[in-house]
Structure 1
């Protein structure tokens, strides 16, 4: 397979060279737009009937002091973010309209980034990636057809750094609370001989975390070589790095939340003297390297094409100290010591992932005054090994170091074709259509980490139509309406928890109004998302902290989103947004004290009815900006039964962001000073958690069974700060 992709890469380079010799020369200013072709197939235009928000490089840079990309997007409409370590560095997550990461499609330069098996997005593997982002677009709802796993309520597509015409360099350093540090070096040669650019970045981010021992060490790199001509852009890109993160995914219970909200139970064990200790290497250690090759070609004013190739190599493990483990759980033979049979032991284990991911994308774009049409496809192959090792054991039995006590494999192929077009009917009305066919084949073999045989052999065929209309009232106003269907396959954990799990389906209706003038921008959008067999979060988590999902029959999300930008004066502006929603399971059943109860209509887990944000921006002068950033998240349930013990309280947090750009007369082009003061009112809040139930025998109960409940919480940091300086030359 690797040789196959190398062959395709050579074919692309050879074909592009031929095209350069035969192309029709165009206006050289058009070359600046060739970078955008990388994401044209998965993005939408400003007037399309798809609900979306664009984020620029400059907007990200104002708060890019080491925190992960989800945290940098925290103030966008309908967004709720959380981090395991509590301070925005390390394992972080994002939910949009209550929809979690497993249902959010993420692409980088049009290449799928979601893990093919878990469908999750692990931003921790992209340390300081925001420093290499040119722009990103967050689409809410089903959105447009994209590559990889379907967008099931939201999608984030990222475009990496554009080609720079001028040579430049950048050194960035930031420091802050919890011993957080970020160090970044960037460079670009600019265009050499008007055609070739080489650019790169090296970064290191480390933090002790707000939660005890939740330390993070992220080393990352980004390197691209580009060839650009009037009508041709070829980019070879590699990025990746290593993350070592002390585990903090177990959360804490309600009592610990009151007594010591920074407590971390991960790594806890009892030594031979009965003392409580913590294993110092209870870490997640993962390496991920991406290799992309893109060729964009414009043939004339109407036709252009894009081909993208990708290979991703991921490997790593999480390590745990485990007490009193049964031999049989690790395929160990009981031993006899001093006449006594020993069949339990303390041990240290590593659970590994070792995977390869290959992608081929191709698209063609035809455009004239009335029609803008894109058609293309994507093909990906995933091959992932899962295995566990014992690296130390108090009683080793007949094992050898690094014996594998389980092994399994997952293989997944994903093939999709799409055609999408915008047709301008007249000066007022434009129509949008989008058809996608996607087929997914998923096979597993071997054992799970619990040493249970795991054999899946499923093929899914999905048809995802979308349509919309935009009506331009005048130069300042337009109205739009769209309908989109999405189908999505279960992930690996879904099959482990329920072999009969079903794929989920979503019908999404969006109705909106956009008003845009120089001093006032307003977007109003109403949505109705009707689900069948939605894989909702049950509230529980697995042994790695990932949320467990299950089909829930029929459900819906009905909401209103409003976001605006208001220029009060030349120096003061407001940027508010608010989402009001109702998110319901049509019918919910729960076993309580041995009896199955129909609870009727209940709230969907992790779906607050009110989410609001605002940025109050003071532009003191050119290059000097102070912003007060506010975020409110209403109360939400961690389960689907509306149990009071599963409720997360609402919270209201405020941050202050300060940037000052100084232009010295020599040495440096600019020096940028940045400050970020988070949660300035010292709010003690929890943004995420888990909830579940268990039954135990109870003779006093009429059924002989009583149901108990448990809950875990992930507290977020109280007041903290980050300060940084960036030298540009």
Structure 2
């Protein structure tokens, strides 16, 4: 009887066995580097099934019948590969792709980047790393877990106005390029990420160089550079949508689509919006952006046209919170109210507000508004096996204003005549003013590169022009008839012409030794004509010529390890405020720096490690001292000698398929040899000078440590625990404990789960819990002081960051 039952069951299951559902899993890697290749398109000829390798080069096909299959693998910059597989059971394969002579769109930025065995200190951040971090916060918060980086947010939660410092250097000393084209504002030299909300969704990769780095275009890199490459061509058509929602009313909606390659053409587009109420009171942001790109590509050339832009409206939160409110009691707050002449609603606001979310602005339209549009045409061609040519043209159109309420203002300060009411002459009024910037930035960049087994060189450069109209208007007052919107109460134009040319040389002396040289000449022509915000006449004229040489040596220990050293010299021009606020009859000096870098890098299958030491010695560094000019404006002064010396380390170690550890550390000493601090003397007039020797440079923590533990318990589930420690920072250069930011240690938890269902290519769920342990800390601040009543009064202001808060997202890819 048992034999009969067994035979019946076997007969039932034989059809199922005959049509067994099998799968092929595989890994794709580069034939020369053996590194995994993401985004490789794999097609099964017999079934027409498609798949794309993930960030680890892994792909998978399910529900296959036993038989012989032909796989075709294609990837930009690699030769087409055909692989025949016979399966009778589940099978795992490994495939290596051979690079073609023309390497994808990286060629568009190679002239301003450091190669794998370069002599500069750098960190590369891949597209997948950016995507994992992108929950809608500004770009600085996505790259904060890199050595020597500190980020801050005015609104406290990473949306709106944010900033980044590298090695203690502020954003005006961090060079930012997008596809090799300068992004820093030409006059202020700052970078305003709020003007490009969700730009991370259109980025392929980022290279962060620390120190002077290699010659690039735009503002001088005096602390670091952020080199961005936008999205490259996708082989396959796609549609994706990303939606985030979180604390403080944070909302992000993004939709992207692309045609994939249609012959030699491809198109891609993105629309995004981000909204947030902010952690700080009335610090809401309403941000919108777009990105459109079209490309023509052959084996020998790439032509890409990018059009992108953003619109932002952000309620001002840039005044910070007075120390009396943040840390004091009611008596301290009342003293602050009396010292600063607060009354009415302003006084009630500072008394009643939450100490960590107080915002001094109450006017309902105290907003910053800005629109920015970018146009880029990028062309790269491989002339032959040794030569590549890059050309780019660009234009940026920017326009915006910030609006503010001002109480009891002198009408004459705004070019408005006194108002006669009956027999009374009114010379003061409450009013609302707007301060405008309307600017244009355009130019060209170019490079010609040569490479063979022994030698490689690049000749490149750029010419850029900037036109910036600055003007102010009064839009409201207590007396409507005095307003004339066509009458600018101040009006000036800044023009800047920036020309540079550079030559870079790599020479392989032997199989072990490589020499590097980089010579740059830069010419700057800057003019400002008109009236400033105080209605004083402006005439700025400065012509500067800089020669910036860099030299380096690379020693290859083996295929996975190398040592490098470099010595670089560079100069950098002052910014707009330095020229305008400097004492009459004087011109600020350009800053100079010598940068020495010594490092070691190792890269194996499971380990990526780098350690480097550096010394950055400044001549005539421009810093805030508290000194004022003839009309009471504070300005930066040149300090003859200062320096930064430090040690940095960065490691990524894959323990096994489930655990990975990433860690970085930066330990430094940042000093000014001789510093003179100036404080206003309200008792006797003038200013009081105090001399300090060998004092710490402001906003330069001596210790910064970051870490991340990644745990993958299941194939499609990943958990990440991130930690960041930032040591004490001083608000000025006096090294007074009473004018400092406390150290802080903050932890974040990120979770991601991906799956496929109902024919959808991929669905990703994410959760980010920021400041997991609800740490109360401040990431930024400022200070000023004065003498009154025979003693020094110090006013400190801080920017608290949000406690525990979350953002969750849903990403769907078709």
> In the TM superposition, what is the alpha-carbon distance from 1:275 to its structure 2 partner?
7.5
> In the TM superposition, what is the alpha-carbon distance from 1:257 to its structure 2 partner?
1.4
- Out of 594, 608, 620, the position equivalent to 1:533 is 620
Alignment match, 1:641: 734
Alignment match, 2:776: 684
Conserved 8 A contact 1:289-1:314: yes
The reply on whether 1:562 has 2:631 as its aligned counterpart is no
The reply on whether 1:623 has 2:711 as its aligned counterpart is no
Distance (whole Å) between structure 1 residues aligned to residue 238 and residue 319 of structure 2: 44
User: SS of the residue aligned with 1:676?
Assistant: strand
Q: Residues 365 and 352 (structure 1 numbering): CA distance in 2 closer, same or farther, change over 3 Å?
A: same
Query: Per-residue displacement from partner, 1:639-684 (whole Å, max 9, x unpaired)?
Result: 00112221100000000011111122x3310001111100011001
Query: Per-residue displacement from partner, 1:298-353 (whole Å, max 9, x unpaired)?
Result: 11110110100000000010000111011121111112223222111011111000
Distance (whole Å) between structure 2 residues aligned to residue 614 and residue 473 of structure 1: 28
Alignment match, 1:712: 797
Conserved 8 A contact 2:294-2:305: yes
**How high is the TM-score relative to the length of structure 1?**
0.91
Distance (whole Å) between structure 2 residues aligned to residue 274 and residue 483 of structure 1: 55
Alignment match, 1:56: 126
Map residues 105-124 of structure 1 onto 2, 5 A cutoff.
Answer: 105-124=175-194
- Out of 484, 488, 512, the position equivalent to 1:400 is 484
Distance (whole Å) between structure 2 residues aligned to residue 273 and residue 104 of structure 1: 37
Distance (whole Å) between structure 1 residues aligned to residue 194 and residue 399 of structure 2: 14
Could you tell which deviates more after superposition, 394-403 or 146-155? 394-403
Q: Residues 178 and 467 (structure 1 numbering): CA distance in 2 closer, same or farther, change over 3 Å?
A: same
Distance (whole Å) between structure 1 residues aligned to residue 257 and residue 457 of structure 2: 36
Map residues 500-539 of structure 1 onto 2, 5 A cutoff.
Answer: 500-538=587-625
Map residues 545-556 of structure 1 onto 2, 5 A cutoff.
Answer: 549-556=636-643
Conserved 8 A contact 2:108-2:378: yes
Q: Residues 32 and 368 (structure 1 numbering): CA distance in 2 closer, same or farther, change over 3 Å?
A: closer
User: SS of the residue aligned with 1:644?
Assistant: coil
- Out of 244, 247, 250, the position equivalent to 2:313 is 244
Alignment match, 2:10: none
Distance (whole Å) between structure 1 residues aligned to residue 625 and residue 654 of structure 2: 43
User: SS of the residue aligned with 1:66?
Assistant: coil
Calculate the aligned-residue CA RMSD, in Å: 2.4
> In the TM superposition, what is the alpha-carbon distance from 1:497 to its structure 2 partner?
2.2
Distance (whole Å) between structure 1 residues aligned to residue 101 and residue 765 of structure 2: 33
Distance (whole Å) between structure 1 residues aligned to residue 525 and residue 697 of structure 2: 30
Q: Residues 232 and 274 (structure 1 numbering): CA distance in 2 closer, same or farther, change over 3 Å?
A: closer
Alignment match, 1:450: 534
Conserved 8 A contact 1:638-1:691: yes
Alignment match, 1:693: 785
User: SS of the residue aligned with 2:577?
Assistant: helix
> In the TM superposition, what is the alpha-carbon distance from 1:623 to its structure 2 partner?
2.7
Conserved 8 A contact 2:283-2:316: yes
> In the TM superposition, what is the alpha-carbon distance from 1:256 to its structure 2 partner?
1.6
Distance (whole Å) between structure 1 residues aligned to residue 538 and residue 387 of structure 2: 48
Unpaired segments ≥5 residues, structure 1: 1-24
> In the TM superposition, what is the alpha-carbon distance from 1:259 to its structure 2 partner?
6.7
- Out of 232, 242, 259, the position equivalent to 1:189 is 259
Distance (whole Å) between structure 1 residues aligned to residue 120 and residue 625 of structure 2: 29
Alignment match, 1:258: 327
Query: Per-residue displacement from partner, 1:164-184 (whole Å, max 9, x unpaired)?
Result: 111011011010000001000
User: SS of the residue aligned with 2:579?
Assistant: helix
> In the TM superposition, what is the alpha-carbon distance from 1:211 to its structure 2 partner?
0.4
Q: Residues 604 and 452 (structure 1 numbering): CA distance in 2 closer, same or farther, change over 3 Å?
A: same
User: SS of the residue aligned with 1:297?
Assistant: strand
Conserved 8 A contact 2:153-2:161: yes
User: SS of the residue aligned with 1:404?
Assistant: coil
> In the TM superposition, what is the alpha-carbon distance from 1:596 to its structure 2 partner?
3.0
Alignment match, 1:728: 813
Distance (whole Å) between structure 1 residues aligned to residue 470 and residue 499 of structure 2: 24
Could you tell which deviates more after superposition, 297-306 or 567-576? 567-576
Alignment match, 2:568: 484
Distance (whole Å) between structure 1 residues aligned to residue 346 and residue 425 of structure 2: 22
Distance (whole Å) between structure 2 residues aligned to residue 178 and residue 272 of structure 1: 25
The reply on whether 1:74 has 2:144 as its aligned counterpart is yes
> In the TM superposition, what is the alpha-carbon distance from 1:205 to its structure 2 partner?
0.4
Query: Per-residue displacement from partner, 1:531-585 (whole Å, max 9, x unpaired)?
Result: 001123558999xxx9964322100000000111122333112111111100000
Alignment match, 2:217: 147
Conserved 8 A contact 2:102-2:300: no
Query: Per-residue displacement from partner, 1:161-217 (whole Å, max 9, x unpaired)?
Result: 00111101101101000000100000000111x201110100000100000010001
> In the TM superposition, what is the alpha-carbon distance from 1:145 to its structure 2 partner?
0.1
Alignment match, 2:89: none
Distance (whole Å) between structure 1 residues aligned to residue 131 and residue 634 of structure 2: 31
User: SS of the residue aligned with 1:174?
Assistant: strand
User: SS of the residue aligned with 2:489?
Assistant: strand
Alignment match, 2:696: 603
Map residues 165-244 of structure 1 onto 2, 5 A cutoff.
Answer: 165-192=235-262, 194-244=263-313
User: SS of the residue aligned with 2:772?
Assistant: coil
Alignment match, 1:15: none
Q: Residues 373 and 623 (structure 1 numbering): CA distance in 2 closer, same or farther, change over 3 Å?
A: farther
> In the TM superposition, what is the alpha-carbon distance from 1:524 to its structure 2 partner?
0.8
Distance (whole Å) between structure 1 residues aligned to residue 634 and residue 810 of structure 2: 38
- Out of 88, 102, 114, the position equivalent to 1:44 is 114
Alignment match, 1:19: none
The reply on whether 1:669 has 2:761 as its aligned counterpart is yes
The reply on whether 1:95 has 2:165 as its aligned counterpart is yes
Distance (whole Å) between structure 2 residues aligned to residue 563 and residue 94 of structure 1: 19
The reply on whether 1:584 has 2:677 as its aligned counterpart is no
Alignment match, 2:660: 573
Alignment match, 1:133: 203
User: SS of the residue aligned with 2:375?
Assistant: strand
Query: Per-residue displacement from partner, 1:75-104 (whole Å, max 9, x unpaired)?
Result: 110000001000000100000000010001
Q: Residues 226 and 693 (structure 1 numbering): CA distance in 2 closer, same or farther, change over 3 Å?
A: same
Q: Residues 565 and 445 (structure 1 numbering): CA distance in 2 closer, same or farther, change over 3 Å?
A: same
Could you tell which deviates more after superposition, 399-408 or 220-229? 399-408
Distance (whole Å) between structure 1 residues aligned to residue 591 and residue 329 of structure 2: 40
- Out of 407, 411, 415, the position equivalent to 1:331 is 415
User: SS of the residue aligned with 2:700?
Assistant: coil
Alignment match, 1:659: 752
Map residues 280-291 of structure 1 onto 2, 5 A cutoff.
Answer: 280-291=364-375
Q: Residues 53 and 537 (structure 1 numbering): CA distance in 2 closer, same or farther, change over 3 Å?
A: farther
Q: Residues 677 and 64 (structure 1 numbering): CA distance in 2 closer, same or farther, change over 3 Å?
A: same
User: SS of the residue aligned with 1:59?
Assistant: helix
Could you tell which deviates more after superposition, 385-394 or 530-539? 530-539
Unpaired segments ≥5 residues, structure 2: 1-76, 81-98, 350-360, 682-686
Could you tell which deviates more after superposition, 105-114 or 421-430? 421-430
**How high is the TM-score relative to the length of structure 2?**
0.82
Conserved 8 A contact 2:591-2:622: yes
Q: Residues 224 and 548 (structure 1 numbering): CA distance in 2 closer, same or farther, change over 3 Å?
A: farther
Q: Residues 644 and 384 (structure 1 numbering): CA distance in 2 closer, same or farther, change over 3 Å?
A: same
> In the TM superposition, what is the alpha-carbon distance from 1:403 to its structure 2 partner?
2.7
Conserved 8 A contact 2:246-2:808: yes
Paired positions, count: 689
> In the TM superposition, what is the alpha-carbon distance from 1:373 to its structure 2 partner?
1.0
Could you tell which deviates more after superposition, 678-687 or 642-651? 642-651
> In the TM superposition, what is the alpha-carbon distance from 1:26 to its structure 2 partner?
11
The reply on whether 1:461 has 2:545 as its aligned counterpart is yes
Conserved 8 A contact 1:539-1:638: no
User: SS of the residue aligned with 1:663?
Assistant: strand
- Out of 299, 308, 324, the position equivalent to 2:392 is 308
